Amino acid sequence: MANWRVRFALEASVLELACGTGILTRVLRTQLPAAVKLIATDLNEPMFRQAAAKFSSDEVVQWQQADACSLPFADRMFEAVLCQFGLMFVPDKGLAAREAHRVLKPGGQFLFNVWDAIEHNALGQLTHRTVASYFENDPPVFYQVPFGYHDQDEIRRVLKEAGFRDIEIEVVTSVSRAGCARDAATGLVNGNPIAVAIAERDPSLLPVITDAVAKAIEDRFGESEIRAPMRAIVVQARA
């Protein structure tokens, strides 16, 4: 997302929301001029501490805990606000958009991406269906969240109401890769909060469901060299 869409003057300031483990932060710090000030934030302090540990002392990134719905920054402070696969988890999208608009300088860029609907993301859909099949009542709903903010009309409406203009929305297709079905299943089940939701209901089902997800992936995509379709939505707008 960063390598071809963002170009700034040397004195620019850039804010990243929901930086997580620092995947986008790494791209930004590598590709932006060293003089560009980069502030990476996340609501979860242990998360951005983990990200910060991946950077050397001469790679200047300011790490800060911040709620996207209540940013601790002055008005008109940044040339750009970016968020990679994080806005889906923000409870109040409208408030987050208004906060992004508030801290952007006039003409500044808000750039983010979200997952498209789950039916366009095969591994997520397979996992969601498989997990749900083990719970007749109260199935874990985690996978409805990351794939739940994809209505382009709604995204456009939220941005317009926050004051943004020049809104561009693009659907991007790609391929999700894994070395084998077991690796993919381990990440999809044990590598995110759905594992906690399963354990809260019946911890003995966690390895059973992981096996079932691996089998579902293997049946559709083979045992090794998994290549599954995925689709995201990239959004950019001007303050």
Q: What digits encode the pLDDT tens for the residues 75-96? A: 999 999 999 999 999 999 999 9
Residue 2 counted as domain residue: no
pLDDT at 4: 46
- Which class for 110: exposed (0-12), middle (13-18), buried (19 or more C-beta within 10 A)? buried
Is pLDDT of 70 > 60? yes
What is the Cα–Cα distance from 177 to 64, expressed in whole angstroms?
32
Mean pLDDT of all residues in 222-239:
96
Helical (H) or strand (E) element with 52: helix 45-52
Residue 38 counted as domain residue: no
Residue 61 counted as domain residue: no
Residue 108 counted as domain residue: yes
Complete DSSP assignment for 178-224: EEEHHHHHIIIIISSTHHHHHHHH-TTHHHHHHHHHHHHHHHHH-SE
Mean pLDDT of all residues in 4-22:
79
Is pLDDT of 118 > 60? yes
Tens digits of per-residue pLDDT, 145-196?
A: 999 999 999 999 999 999 999 999 999 999 999 999 999 999 999 998 999 9
Residue 46 counted as domain residue: no
Q: Are 42 and 18 in contact (CB under 8 A)?
A: yes
Q: Looking at 9-13, 84-88, 103-107, which range is the least confident one?
A: 9-13
Count up the domains in the chain and report the number.
1
pLDDT at 57: 87
Range of the domain at 169: 67-238
Average pLDDT value over all residues in the chain:
94
What is the Cα–Cα distance from 1 to 87, expressed in whole angstroms?
15
CATH number, domain containing residue 146: 3.40.50.150
pLDDT at 121: 98
Token digits of residue 219: 């049946």
Residue 3 counted as domain residue: no
- 62-65 and 37-42 strand pairing: parallel
Residue 60 counted as domain residue: no
pLDDT at 47: 85
Residue 171 counted as domain residue: yes
What is the Cα–Cα distance from 100 to 108, expressed in whole angstroms?
10
